Each structure stands twice: as structure tokens, then as C-alpha cells.
Amino acid sequence: MRLGGRLQAAIEILDDIETRKRPASDALKDWGLAHRFAGAGDRAVIGNIVYDVLRRKLSIAWRMDSADARDIAYGALLSDAEMSAEGIVAALADDKFAPAPLDADRLAAWESRDLAAAPDHVRADVPEWCAPHLEALFGADWVREGAALAARPPVDLRVNTLKASRAKVLKELARAGAGEAPLLPGAVRVPPLRALGRHPNVQAEPAFQKGWFEVQDLGSQIAARVAAVEPGQQVLDYCAGAGGKTLALAAEMENRGQIHAFDAEKPRLAPIFERLKRAGVRNTQVHANPEDLTPLEAQMDVVLTDAPCTGSGTWRRRPDAKWRLSPQQLERRETEQREVLDAAKRYVKPGGRLVYVTCSLFASENNLQIEAFLRNNADYSEVDARPLWQAAAPAGEATPVFPSHGMVLSPERTSTDGFYISVLQRAG
């Protein structure tokens, strides 16, 4: 396929996502199934255009003075894909699969409108109702933070120290463009895509199959380090899901001691078994049944609660979720977070720690949850977040936000996805 056909496909997929309110990954998958002639290169470019548009839907539409899918797809080519108007016309010439050209008045709008004059939520590329939530955390910086959440993300890898070193992984992935990640001395990063480029499929590499690394955002890796688990400890990963943090904890513990990985939704645990095996983890038991946890009550050195949340910190990677999120869903997540914290605390031994993590940037899911928890649980106190940060991420200058409790990582501040981490200590 030439660029014209790819652009037209992206426009159809964007229309599908908008009219049926469905996840981008589903719409892209269905398109691929219905167009089997399209190769991996075609699907990659189409996916890039779709995701670029979804990340910056409002700001591109504002500059184009149109929210039409065709116009904003052209806007993505003019900005993220780094093409000139003339370059696009030339690339689409004589392509019978190309969409209608961009109207001259749209192009004139694009060239004359200055985003600095747009409303704040448009410059931040977030739904208007989310603005107060980001402002509550970031104050005057919130628009810049929102815009950073709308940029293309890197692919971060966690080196599995049970099997490999960073040098070994870097050598294997040199051709994939991998380099050292900031902040964590062990982490690896493939920088964000440029223009119409394509990310290498790192999971197809033999080094991945051998368990030398996992794909995991740097913020998630830091969250696991802030938990500061030690070899020999008893640890409960209470919202283990597919096991991203479980694997990181097991490596920190050098396969010694015991991790219990639990999730209330059994199907979410399905990938964990294969991942544990590939990573060579031997100190983890997986539990899908809450009754299994009864013997663990008041026994755990560390309980990690990677709580269900809006995922607002991951909008770079899942930009469609940003537009589907509703205030009602936020409220449901807040209720679940209270329930998870209340349930998880019973497993912490006297003197042990409860680590609360979300991948959200909303104060109501983060420090305000911790504030309420501390009010209702006099036997818990907060561990000062600043030294925890310094110990966990010793390399580099970046500093998280330290709100009333815990710490917040963000693309703008720490070059990570948005994460919240708070560590609480139970009285001995």
C-alpha cells in the first residue's frame, strides 16, 4: 500500500472508533482481519496515524478548525509524521486509494492558527472535565503535563537481572535502536518513533524469548523498586494482573523468599504463568482464590497494591482511553481503590509495609486516597517519599511531584508514564 491507502484506512478506523466508541486496538485488529493483503509495514503506519490523532485530537482539530477525521488525520501527517503540505500532495499523487485532498481553507487555518491562543484543555489535549483533576496535582504546570501525556512514548525494557545484564541486552538490541534509559542504572529504552518510522518488535527477539528482558515502562520499574523488597522477605502482590510488577519484585528479591501473586479477576492472571517461566522466577505462587490468602494475614513484610485506576498516567500509550473515560468511571475506580486498600492491609505484619501504586495522575485516586486511609487507620504512618525516590532512582536529575502524600511520576517530570507511589508502614 502507498501512503494514500494507508491514510484512508486510518481515517476509516478513526471513524469506527468515534462512532462505535470502541478501543483503538479492537478497531485496528478488525481492519487488519478484513484487509489481509495489508502487510506489517502498512499496519504499522496506519496504527501510527491513528494513535497520533488520538493522542492530540483536540489540539490538531483546533489548528485545523475542523474535527473531521480526514482533516485531523492530515494534521497528524503535518505534525507527528513531519511531512510538509507539498510532500503530502506529492506522496498522494496518482494514488487512487488516497482520500480527498486537504481543503485549501483547512491548510490555511493550520498554517495561521497559533495553539497558544487555544483553551487550556485543548493545549493539554485532555477532556475538559479532567482539567481540574490535573490542575489539583500539577498546579500551573498542568497544561504542559497534559501535552507531555499526548506525546509519542518510548518503549522501555526492564532487564531481567535473574538472567542477564544491561550490557548483554543492549548488545542484543543494538540494531533495534536500544540505549540506556534515564534514572535507573539497569533499564533500557528504545526512543519514541520519529516521523513514519516503525518500532522494532522487541518481543520477536531471541533475547526476549530467553527471558532476558520484559517490556515495562520505566515508571512501573521504579514503582517496583520503591517497594524496596529484599531477598528472603514474604511479599504479597495483591493486584498482580499479568504480573509486570511481580516479575520485577522477584528479580529484586533474587529469587529468594516468597512472593504471593493474587488478582481478584482470574483471567487477568493468565499470562503470568508463561512470563514467570520465561523469566526463570522460582519464588512466586499464584493465587486466584481469595481464601488461599487467609494464612497470609498479618504475615507479610510487604504488600504491594497496584490498584485498579483510570490509567490516566498511561494516555501516551492508550490515548483512546482518554476520550472514553467518564466521571462515573472515575468514581467507580475510587470506590475499588478504597476496597482494595482495606482488603490488602490485613496481610501486612506489624512493622511491615503497604505500598500503594496507581498509573493515574488524579489526586482523588492517589494522595487523597492515602489521606483518607491514614485518617481511618491509626496504626499506619507514611514513609517519607523523598528518600524513597532517591534510593530507587539514583541516576539523573529528574524529580517527581511530592503531593500531600507519596510521589507522582509523569512524562514531563520523570520521562516515564504517570505513576503514583506511596509507602505506608504499619506500627510494630
Ligand X SMILES: C[S@@+](CC[C@H](N)C(=O)[O-])C[C@H]1O[C@@H](n2cnc3c(N)ncnc32)[C@H](O)[C@@H]1O
Q: Which residues are catalytic?
A: 359
15 is in an annotated binding site: no
Cα separations in angstroms, 100 against 3, 73, 88, 312:
13, 12, 12, 35
Residue number with CB closer to ligand X (265 or 384): 265
- Segment near ligand X (CB under 6 A); pick from 24-32, 193-201, 263-271, 378-386: 263-271
Residue number with CB closer to ligand X (58 or 223): 223
Please select the residue that binds ligand X; options are 35, 268, 275, 317, rule is CB under 6 A: 268
Please select the residue that binds ligand X; options are 4, 146, 219, 308, rule is CB under 6 A: 308
Would you tell me the crossing angle of helices 104-112 and 57-64 to the nearest 10 degrees? 110
Query: Which residues in 100-120 are b (16+ Cβ under 10 Å) and which e?
Result: ebbeeebbebbeeeeeeebee
**Interaction of residue 265 with ligand X, rule CB under 6 A:** yes
Minimal CA–CA distance to 79: which of 111, 47, 101, 108?
111
Residue number with CB closer to ligand X (82 or 265): 265
Q: How far is the CB of 306 from ligand X (least distance, A)?
A: 4
263 is in an annotated binding site: yes
Q: How far is the CB of 215 from ligand X (least distance, A)?
A: 11
Q: How many residues bind ligand X (CB under 6 A)?
A: 17
Q: Are 205 and 193 in contact (CB under 8 A)?
A: no
Match 519464588 to its residue by C-alpha cell. 283
**Residue least distant from ligand X (Cβ):** 244
Which ranges constitute the DSSP H helices of 139-236?
A: 142-148, 166-172, 206-209, 218-226
Q: How far is the CB of 139 from ligand X (least distance, A)?
A: 26
- The three grid cell numbers given for residue 348, joined into one nine-digit string: 501486612
Q: How far is the CB of 69 from ligand X (least distance, A)?
A: 31
**Interaction of residue 242 with ligand X, rule CB under 6 A:** yes
Site for ligand X in 329-348 (CB under 6 A): 336, 339-340
Q: How far is the CB of 273 from ligand X (least distance, A)?
A: 14
**Interaction of residue 205 with ligand X, rule CB under 6 A:** no
Q: Are 367 and 401 in contact (CB under 8 A)?
A: no
DSSP-derived secondary structure letter, 364 = G
Report d(CA 410, CA 416) in Å as an integer: 5
Task: Report helix, strand or coil for 271.
Answer: coil
**Interaction of residue 306 with ligand X, rule CB under 6 A:** yes
Report d(CA 261, CA 236) in Å as an integer: 6
- Segment near ligand X (CB under 6 A); pick from 112-120, 186-194, 207-215, 258-266: 258-266
Query: Which residues in 317-350 are b (16+ Cβ under 10 Å) and which e?
Result: bbbbbbbebeeeebeebbebbeebbebbbebbbe
Q: How far is the CB of 233 from ligand X (least distance, A)?
A: 18
**Interaction of residue 239 with ligand X, rule CB under 6 A:** yes
Beta strands 258-262 and 284-287: pairing type? parallel
Residue number with CB closer to ligand X (48 or 367): 367
Residue number with CB closer to ligand X (102 or 392): 392
Residue number with CB closer to ligand X (82 or 297): 297
Q: Which residues are annotated as a binding site?
A: 263, 306
Q: Which residues are annotated as a binding site for S-adenosyl-L-methionine?
A: 263, 306
Would you tell me which residues interact with ligand X (CB under 6 A)?
Answer: 238-245, 263-265, 268, 306, 308, 336, 339-340
